[in-house]
Amino acid sequence: MYFDLNQLFIFFIPFGIIAIILSFKIRFPEENNKTQKKINVFKNNGFKLSVFNNISYDLPFALILTFGGIFARTEFNAQYSFVELLLSGFFGLSFLSRFFLSYRPAKKLYITTMASVSITIVGLIMVYFSDSLITYFIIISFLGIPHGLTFPTSLTALSRSFKEDEISVANTYFFALMMFLAVLVPSLSGVMVYSVGLRNTFLLFAIPVIILFIFILYQYKKMPEVNN
């Protein structure tokens, strides 16, 4: 049985319906308005750490989702079915790494973060040097590892940096920033691809990740307690 691209979206409708139903089961922490105080989220070092950490992978993640398949098509003349397989490898390792982290939480958040960002930097550079479709597939698949690790470690750092009655506000600002980047980065990457080409764009995206890596190291030194 064959389904075209438009028909495939029909199979995802049940997931949206299930999400709507389950959303009514979610309970948020109750806020005590009598003791409510103003929270300066942006000055909190843990918030900065979480944002820097998550941006370090949101940048390449948006690039991979937008242009990863196009790269395979234009550089290696890959079939459309292989493009889907490419993303399956990426999200497959992402799921496995996130599952492992949930099964065995990181004792030292610092080590997990450093490993995740390092894989991201090396992976982006290796995409630039990839010379075959198989090599490219392996690189993109391994880039799924930091995709699986980064978000949980960011939320862990965030939860360790705020009190229970403050975490809802911190989460709101955190996700608002991530949604803004989700809109901005594909547009920015599109301009870069148009200007310097696909390969060079992947390489250039390693530069802001390296800068963020330095910021993350600095934030960990400022608040070592978030590591434990």
pLDDT digits (tens, 9 = 90+) for 19-46: 889 888 877 656 555 545 677 888 888 8
- Closest CA relative to residue 146, chosen from 100, 93, 186, 185: 93
Q: How many angstroms separate the CA atoms of 84 and 183, rounded?
A: 23
pLDDT digits (tens, 9 = 90+) for 34-92: 545 677 888 888 899 999 999 998 889 989 999 999 999 999 998 888 888 898 999 99
pLDDT of residue 226: 75
CATH superfamily of 44-223: MFS general substrate transporter like domains (1.20.1250.20)
Report the C-alpha gap between 205 and 188 in whole angstroms.
11
Mean pLDDT of 83-107: 89
CA distance 116 to 57: 9
**182-210 residue pLDDT tens:** 888 888 899 999 999 999 999 999 999 99
Number of neighbouring beta carbons within 10 Å of residue 13: 9
Angle, vertex CA 111, rays to CA 172 and CA 91, nearest 5: 65
Alpha-carbon separation of residue 41 from 108, 165, 227 (angstroms): 24, 13, 19
Q: pLDDT tens for residues 115-168?
A: 999 999 999 999 999 999 999 999 999 999 999 999 999 998 898 888 887 888
pTM listed for this prediction: 0.84
Return the closest-CA partner of residue 180 out of 75, 58, 90: 58
Domain ranges of the chain: 44-223
Distance (Å, rounded) from C-alpha 44 to C-alpha 114?
A: 21
The amino acid at residue 84 is E
Asked if 171 and 158 touch (Cβ cutoff 8 Å), the reply is yes
